[in-house]
Structure 1
Amino acid sequence: MSVLPLVFTSGWASGINAYAVVLLLGVFGVTGLSDEVPAALQRTDVLVVAGVLFLCEMVADKIQYVDTAWDALQTAVRPIAGAVVAALLAGESGSLPDIAAGAIGGSTALVSHLVKAGTRMAVNTSPEPFSNIVVSAAEDLGVAGIVVFAVFHPLAAAIIAATLLLLGLVAVVFLTSRIRRFLRRRARRREERRLAAAGAPGPPV
């Protein structure tokens, strides 16, 4: 069976939470629940690092504005992780060239990451912090559920992931005005901090 559906799904999930993907796949491999998990993802050091970083992401991702800063740091990490996981999965199955799998996983992770980052900017225009917690928890549960589902039903999981990715892109388009508002607010705060550090009066409110 082609590994392409699992590659696509892991790429989508990596764009949202790469550490959860590595951790879940590694646990499935170590416990023997799946024979398709590469040995590199089952290593103890990989699982420990992924677990620690997953906990860091789980906390940072639920704090208003901190989540956006965290997403900025993950802009390179998530696509690279998506590409590496995809290439490892392809190498394990032998049904898809590693380079092609890496390109699919990495590009899917990048698009998924941009959708997540854009959505979070829109959410951060809301003054209350609870929406961040709700959205982050939904993302965590969604990634976990779909990755687990993909191990046993890769094609169906890939269809769900593709649908969610498409819906996410549509949502970002509709939320463009809120994203711009967030970026303007952040730029204004940076200017206020710069002027305060220089001892100059801030811009008029």
Structure 2
Amino acid sequence: MSILPLVFTSGWASGINAYAVMLLLGVLGATGLSDEVPETLQRPEVLLVAGVLFLCEAVADKIPYVDSVWDTVHTVIRPAAGAWVGAMLAGQSGGSLSDLAAGLVGGGTALASHSVKAGARMAINTSPEPFSNIVVSLAEDLSVAGLVTFALFHPWAAASIAAVLLASGLVVLVFLVSRIRRFLRRRAERRARRRMTTEPQAP
């Protein structure tokens, strides 16, 4: 099968939750459900680390403002993970897609989907209630798990869905710019107030 759609879908998913992608692919490969998964992802130590980090993200991703800090930290990690997974998938397939090209596709797609996720979370954090974060986070986790699994068996259909989700997310992000700016302004105001309360007052 062509590896390009699987690389694209895994890149999209890595931009949302890279640890879930590595853990899920590793488990599916280790259990023999797919021959497309590189042996590196099936190694016990890789599965253990991915599992622990996935649990950390599962908690951090559902707490308002903590999720945005987590996203900021992962601005480099998620695209790098998408590129790494894409390159390994291409190497495993032995097909026409080179490791470098697969890395660029996986990393670029991960960066785009990460931007959508991080921007959407900034907009959601402008809401005073905390439940939106939990609902959105669960929806993201289910989407990643479902689409990555689907991609191993129906790669082109999964890639088409991922492309639609990515394009839709980018369009929505444009309309959320005003809310994102409001979030950044509020965060700057909170930092300014915090500095004022911690600085010693002049006699």
Residue of structure 2 in register with 1:53 after alignment = 53
> TM-score if structure 2 supplies the norm length?
0.97
Residue of structure 2 in register with 1:134 after alignment = 135
1:104 and 2:102 matched: no
Residue of structure 2 in register with 1:186 after alignment = 187
Aligned-partner Cα distance in 1 for 2:137–2:158: 20
What is the letter of the counterpart of residue 40 of structure 2?
A
Point out where structure 1 has 5 or more consecutive residues left out of the alignment.
Answer: none
Residue of structure 2 in register with 1:195 after alignment = 196
1:122 and 2:126 matched: no
Residue of structure 1 in register with 2:82 after alignment = 82
Residue of structure 2 in register with 1:26 after alignment = 26
1:162 and 2:181 matched: no
Report percent identity of matched pairs: 72
Residue of structure 2 in register with 1:5 after alignment = 5
Aligned-partner Cα distance in 2 for 1:27–1:12: 19
The alpha carbon displacement at 1:199 in A equals 3.0
Point out where structure 2 has 5 or more consecutive residues left out of the alignment.
Answer: none
Residue of structure 2 in register with 1:66 after alignment = 66
The alpha carbon displacement at 1:63 in A equals 0.3
The alpha carbon displacement at 1:94 in A equals 1.5
Aligned-partner Cα distance in 2 for 1:101–1:149: 19
CA deviations 1:137-187 (Å, max 9, x no partner) are 000001000001001101000000000000000111011110000000001
Segments of 4+ in structure 1 off by > 4 A?
none
What is the letter of the counterpart of residue 99 of structure 1?
L
What is the letter of the counterpart of residue 69 of structure 2?
A
What's the Cα RMSD here?
A: 1.0
- From the superposition, tell whether residues 55 and 152 of structure 1 become closer, same or farther in structure 2 (CA, over 3 Å): same
- Equivalent position SS for 2:129: coil
CA deviations 1:6-41 (Å, max 9, x no partner) are 000000000000000000000011000000100000
The alpha carbon displacement at 1:2 in A equals 1.4
> TM-score if structure 1 supplies the norm length?
0.96
Residue of structure 1 in register with 2:39 after alignment = 39
The alpha carbon displacement at 1:200 in A equals 5.1
